[in-house]
Amino acid sequence: MVKLFVSGFPLSMDEIELAKIFALHGDLKTIKLVRDKKTRVCKGYGFIEVADQDSADNIVSVLNGYPVDDRELTVNIRPDEPDAPSRAEIAARLGMTDNALRQAFHRFRHRYQLLLREEIGHTVADPSEIEDELRQLIVALRS
């Protein structure tokens, strides 16, 4: 099986609606949308497993950049990382518990998000433009 990373779909879409789009172009096995643990609201990205490389290649070529409502899908083949250490291995190397490492990552991500939004805020005329500028930055980094 091949795993695809998918983002850019409207947050109101669910697994069934995505499956209707993706199943036309490849043999789908699973769909997992990433949701907030507390609110269960979709975070705007997810993973799709397809049966084989041909399905993955076809889906990426057809649906990457595909417009859905006022947004565009981003579809990439997620590379295998067989040599990547597990979180438990990283925690052991750092002399931390798994829970302490998870908390440290959470704090790091939160702090990074705040600093990035603050920095972007210095480049826009109105604070309401920060999120749009951030989306444009992500698109530029992915291409």
What does the domain layout of the chain look like in residue ranges? Answer: 2-77, 87-142
> Can you name the residues that pair with 6 across neighbouring β-strands?
46, 75
CB contact at 8 A, 134 and 120: yes
> Can you name the residues that pair with 47 across neighbouring β-strands?
5, 32
Domain 2-77 has CATH 1.10.8.60: no
Q: What is the mean pLDDT of residues 47-72?
A: 94
pLDDT at 80: 67
Within the chain, where are the H helices? 15-22, 53-63, 87-94, 98-121, 130-142
63-93 pLDDT, tens digit each: 999 999 989 999 999 876 667 788 888 999 9
Q: Could you tell me the CA-to-CA distances from 43 to 8, 9, 33, 129, 132 in Å, in that order?
A: 10, 10, 8, 20, 16
Q: What is the mean pLDDT of residues 119-141?
A: 85
